[in-house]
Structure 1
Amino acid sequence: MRVALRAVMSAALLFLFPLLALLLVGLSVFVSLTVSRTAGVYLAIAGLLVAIALVAVMWLVLSHKQNPPVGPRLNRTGRPAIWELVDELAEDIGTRAPDEIVMTSRIEVTLIDQGGFLFGERTQRYLLIGLPILGGISADELRALIAHELAHFGGGSALSRLIYRATVALRQTADRMGAGSVGSVIAAYARWFARTAWPVNRARERAADHWAVRASGPEATASVLRKMATLRSQWRTFNDRFLSMASAAKRQPDVLLGFRAFLMHPTQRVWAEGNAGPMLELRSSSDFDAHPSLRERIAMVDRLPDEGDLPPDLRPGFTLLPEPGEVVPMLEGKLLLEEPGEPASWQEIVDLAAMNEAREGLRQLTEAARESRLAPSGTLDEILEVLEDGGFSELIAPAVYPGLTGRRRAEVARTFGIALLTDAITYLLSVNGLIRHEVDWGHGRRVRTRQGRELDIAHMAGSAVDQPHTVQGLRQYLASMGVSLRTLPPGDEQERIGPTVDGVATLVKMSGELYDLVVFSTGILLASRDGIPTKKDGKSVGGAFGAHLDLPFEQLRRRPGNLWFAADELEDGKLDKQFMSGWRLVIRTVDGEKLTVRPTTNTEEHGQPLRAVSKLLGTRQLSKK
């Protein structure tokens, strides 16, 4: 009785609006006849303008005009399974099938009815199906959702159908009108109508769930309602965690298959069970939404008998699309990927994305290190040295947003610094083929060594940043893996110019000859002193090594009399401290050649050449007294 009464009241409200416009017209005429000529004309014009505006708005409501939805259309050619299903359900429910099926990028199954006249049937009807939802539900569950949407416009009395359509039309018109004076009047009227019609629309929502059960059974209907509690949130997570990798790699994976694997992972199942509760209880605060909470709907569905005689259809929802092997990738490229590239497996995409991300992180860390002037070459070797000395926060400062101050800036610097250091280590291990990345649908990706051991690089980087005394252990680990800490990002300008000079000791002696010992980031150069005077006006000119620096690296390396030993040509070495001479460097090459270098009384050190030698040798250094 209450629903019937509200239906009559809603119908009266629907016709009250045009009567209000007629009332304003009559009032304008009356005012123009009873008030003084000038004032009456102005008031009459104002009343007529308002009346015209209200009539125009009401025409928008009654004609129910909207822009057609945007998205790829599924045509009926070949009678694909999705169209057979829709036509069958529309006939069973007693309503007109949609004119078009439009695919979207959202988690949704929605039927919209627009165009034509609100009181007639000559409308344009669209069934919107979100492509992502087809990866998360079965064919049975899709059948239940479509039946629910079709039932909004079928079954029940003609009056209740009219009221439902009027509610939707008023909401859309109010949204389009905005917050102006006329828009405010329309919005107030639309809310008034929706509150009055709410019991009628609630009854239609319950009836729509009944039709879903008749079409697909209580089990499939309750299952899809439970999934809808968390499916949007899970799609967002999948988008952020996995589709972002596809965009970074500029490749096109099997998106729906990936989303399905993501949802079936134990981590996601546990998350959905633990987080569905609040969403199941959620009720919309909108006057226009008459849906009960998902928990109420599930409880009602569970009480209904299974009236269907169809066998269960547990296939993924996307299998109902026409030619899914061809259509699904086409739709994924159009709707779900920003820059679809060549087809690739998820494993390939994880590998590419990880490398791209690591390369970019190394580049940013290198730039920050150079800008800070604490690590001029920007190599990880120099960066770890700064980190070991406790200066990492100053080194990373150029990469941190300058508007941050105090504690917040320190927190961001630490977090961002760990992330960039993680990327740098990951890149160096990856380019040397020492690690591999694998898809982990529960967390994104995992890193493993070639032996299959899981590697937590972020933990290694975090420990180095928070506990500088662990940096030496990180150095030793990377050296044991054969990683060069002097690698620069691909295309780096300094990489094209040549290796950096880490230290110089001038006027050293080897085999009775004088050289300048130059320690580069990639090896050791013994630059001959032939032709360079050792004394001038009785003073040492050991610093005359500047004459060498004027030459390009390749020319310097090949200059007659100079001896070059690349890092990978050094078998091992020993650096001893001597009481009289200060130190002695003994190096053995992979060819078995043994070199002994000692300083002279005129030796001058620029930078820290001995420390640079130790770093270059790494674990190949035999002793250090």
Structure 2
Amino acid sequence: MGVSLRALRALALLAGFYLLGLFVLGVFAALGFATCQWTRPVIALKLCIVLALLAIPVVRGMFLLRTPKDDGESGLAVTEGRQPLLWSTVREVAAAAGTRPPDELVLTGDVNASVSENARLLGLLPGRRRLYIGVPLMTGLSEIQLRAVLAHEFGHYGNADTRISAITLRGRHSVARTVNSFMERAENRVGKERARQEKAAGKALRKGREAKEINTRGVGFGYRAMARPFIAYGSFYLRATQSAARRQELAADRTAARVAGREAAASALREVAVLDAAHDLYLSGYATVGAPAGLLPPHGQFYGGLRHLLAEPGRRSELEELRHDLPGTTASPYDAHPPVTERIRLIRELPDDGRAAGTPERHALALLHDPERVCADLETATFVPEALAMRRAQWPELLHLGRRARCEEEAGPLRHAITAATGGDPTLRALLDAADTGALWRIADRLPKSEAAGRASGRAAREFVRPDLRSGLARLLVLELVDARLAWWEMSWSDPSRLRLPEGYEELMPAALDAAVADSPDTAPLRALLPRPSSLSH
């Protein structure tokens, strides 16, 4: 489908929203006119007020004349003077793709590359172009793979995708604004009605009467009903525009294959999918682990530390398995990207261009001047002030203290239960002392419960709460050992962090915990595992 036909289609879909809105307003106007003609003035006035309130979201959605502009993702804008080699590569790839290069280049902290264009007059006139490149993406790609990724993005420029998207975005924002306005008004009505009923119930209780059950069913029905046709059109709009978007992605893939070579384009797609999974693991298992303790990795390592994980031999084998087991289905019918496996298959079906992927001469990160400084500057550009104020720690300390803070947080419910039940210090020794006096299950009863557990009683109630009580005891014991420097979390780039316990504890702890949470608690085995008072001062 050519650019003109795609633009015409986008305009037709946008016009469909306005036709739907005009139809709804026309129905409202007809109802209002008929009411004024055939009913009493008081009834007509009330109905016209209701119709006017229902019409407001439609009018707001229809007259959203301004599409939100691209103000830029959070990132670090770099000039050609600061990053000449990267800019030179970008210009070369843009020329090979047959399109105008971007006006701005922004480095981000994502495993992604994207382009935007602030087109004017709903995309009829070109605008300022911006290219986003993720530093973690560059960390895991070769230079030729990065060129393939850039060529794909510039394919969107060449196919006028970024300009036509201005029309598409206008329609999406209009539909979304209308639906959100209806739903917000419905929720406001529900909130006001709930507050009114709760006030009435409180008043009844104060007078000694039985309070009525809070019931907001049916409140806001008119707004929710009015939202349905727009939700239906929005679903159709997304499906129609996303099918076109998928064709655009495949066309951009062909541009990548033409510029960088078939093998490079296919390997880049595969590697980006693998990097995305590796980056998720890195963020959750390393970079953000210290956050509960108010810690961040060393300067520049939050975005730059991914290379440690990628370089670890143990992780390489996991990533290699992932390369050969990519997801083959699309998660959502609204996803603009076809499945990666399908895209790779279509690229490999292109005629052989004689350019094998081979061994890359240079890593993509080599295109950056002083990448360590870039990663540090990117943190400054993207972190909120609270994050920038956090203390920096080396990786082993970061992981150990972060895991300890998480363990402390998870032990919080049991600590609160101990204090609430005994009025004493929320320590493991205090809990064991209480257990010896028969107060263990009184403490356990104060732990957070599910609805089913809250209804249970007797032995059934104990069975519900026993696992949480046992887990809490284990965390309190671990905290005692860690604070006595007898246990620690050991960091590894090849495996998840592992809690190192004193010799023999892994074998002794399960039985000791089971004994402590038995129907008739025996605390002696668990007491034997507590650190001696002398070790606490070390």
Q: TM-score range by the shorter chain?
A: 0.5 to 0.7
Whole-Å Cα distance in 1 between the matches of residues 307 and 179 of structure 2? 40
Aligned partner of 1:347 in structure 2 is 396
Quick one: which of 484, 491, 497 aligns to 1:439? Answer: 491
Q: 1:120 aligns with which of 107, 110, 124?
A: 124
Q: Name the CA shift for 1:319/1:346 in 2 (closer, same or farther; >3 Å).
A: farther
RMSD: 5.2
1:242 partner letter = Y
Find the aligned partners of 1:293 and 1:393 in 2 and give their Cα distance.
Answer: 54
The reply on whether 1:332 has 2:379 as its aligned counterpart is: yes
* 1:300-449 to 2 correspondences below 5 Å: 300-304=346-350, 305-306=352-353, 313=360, 317-332=364-379, 334-335=381-382, 339-340=387-388, 341-353=390-402, 373=422, 378=427, 380=429, 394=441, 397=444, 400-401=447-448, 405=454, 406=461, 407-430=463-486, 437-446=489-498
Note closer, same or farther for the CA distance 1:327–1:276 as it changes in structure 2 (3 Å cut): closer
| Helix, strand or coil at the partner of 2:342 | helix
Residue number among 283, 287, 299 corresponding to 2:330 in the alignment: 283
TM score, norm. by length of structure 2 = 0.66
Deviations, residues 264-296 of structure 1 (Å, cap 9, x unaligned): 545545555666788621225344x44321111
Instruction: Give the partner amino acid of 2:281.
Output: T
Distance 2:536 2:269 in 1: 53
Aligned residues of 1:13 and 1:193 also touching (Cα < 8 A): no
Contact 2:396 2:491 in 1 (8 A): yes
1:292 aligns with 2:327: no
Distance between the aligned counterparts of 2:148 and 2:90, measured in 1?
11
Query: Which has more helix, going by share of residues?
Result: 2
Shift in Å, 1:370: 6.3
Q: Distance in 1 between matches of 2:241 and 2:535?
A: 70
Q: In the TM superposition, what are the counterparts of 1:489-528 in structure 2 within 5 Å?
A: none
CA distance in 1, matches of 2:71, 2:21: 32
Residue of structure 2 equivalent to 1:260 = 307
In the alignment, which residue of structure 2 is the partner of 1:166? 167
The code of the aligned residue for 2:100 comes to R
Return the offset for 1:208. Answer: 0.7
Distance in 2 of aligned mates of 1:75 and 1:438: 38
SS in 2 for 1:339: helix
Would you say 1:466 and 2:514 are equivalent positions? yes
TM-superposed deviation, 1:297: 0.8
Query: Match for 1:410: what amino acid?
Result: R
TM-fit CA distance, 1:101: 3.0
Partner-residue secondary structure (3-state), 2:157: coil
Residue 205 of structure 1 deviates from its aligned partner by 1.8
Structure 1 residue 354, shift from structure 2 partner: 5.2
Alpha-carbon offset, residue 9 of structure 1: 6.9
One-letter amino acid matched to 1:56: F
**From 79, 82, 98, the counterpart of 2:102:** 98
If the length of structure 1 is used for normalisation, what is the TM-score? 0.58
**Residue identity in the other structure for 1:174:** V
Query: CA 1:79–1:473 in structure 2 vs 1: closer, same or farther (change >3 Å)?
Result: same
Larger Rg: 1
**Farther-moved stretch of structure 1 (210-219 vs 170-179):** 170-179
- 2:261 touches 2:353 (CA, 8 Å); kept in 1? yes
Number of residue pairs the alignment of both structures matches: 461
* Residues 568-607 of structure 1 mapped to structure 2, 5 A cutoff: none
SS in 2 for 1:429: coil
Flag structure 1 segments of 5+ consecutive residues without an equivalent.
491-625
Quickly say closer, same or farther: Cα 1:167–1:67, change in 2 above 3 A.
closer
| CA offsets 1:561-585 (integer angstroms, 9 cap, x no match) | xxxxxxxxxxxxxxxxxxxxxxxxx
Deviation digits for residues 480-524 of structure 1 (CA, Å, limit 9, x no counterpart): xxx52477799xxxxxxxxxxxxxxxxxxxxxxxxxxxxxxxxxx
Q: 1:334 to 1:199 in 2, by over 3 A?
A: closer
Structure 2: tracts of 5 or more residues without a match: 38-44, 183-225, 455-460
Distance 1:84 1:484, change over 3 A: same
Q: Deviations over 1:143-181 (max 9, x none)?
A: 3222212211214xx6x7765553344334434444446
- Cα gap change, 1:323 to 1:102, in 2 (>3 Å): same
Question: Would the aligned equivalents of 1:111 and 1:125 in 2 still touch at CA under 8 Å?
Answer: yes
Whether the aligned pair in 2 keeps the contact of 1:21 and 1:51 (CA below 8 Å) is: no
Pick closer, same or farther for the CA change 1:395–1:346 going to 2, 3 Å: farther
Letter in 1 for 2:344: I
Task: Answer yes or no: is 1:224 the counterpart of 2:268.
Answer: yes
AA of the residue aligned to 2:63: A
Shift of 1:221: 2.8
Alignment partner, residue 12 of structure 2? 13
Is the partner of 2:396 in helix, strand or coil?
Answer: helix
Q: SS at 1:76's partner residue?
A: coil
The yes-or-no answer on 1:69 pairing with 2:72 is: yes
C-alpha change, 1:345 and 1:306, in structure 2 (3 Å) is: farther
Question: Whole-Å Cα distance in 2 between the matches of residues 183 and 67 of structure 1?
Answer: 28
Q: Give 1:244's aligned residue.
A: 288
8 A Cα contact 2:273 2:326, kept in partner: yes
**Residues in 2 aligned to 1:439 and 1:143: alpha-carbon distance in whole angstroms:** 35
Residue 374 of structure 1 deviates from its aligned partner by: 11
**Which protein, 1 or 2, shows the higher relative CO under an 8 Å CA cutoff with sep ≥ 6?**
2
- Cα offset for 1:68? 1.0
Q: CA deviation at 1:375?
A: 8.7
Find the aligned partners of 1:299 and 1:427 in 2 and give their Cα distance: 55
Distance in 1, matches of 2:172 and 2:165, equals 11
Residues 482 and 488 in structure 2, CA contact (< 8 A), matched pair in contact too: no
The 8 Å contact of residues 9 and 196 in structure 1, kept in 2 or not, is answered as no
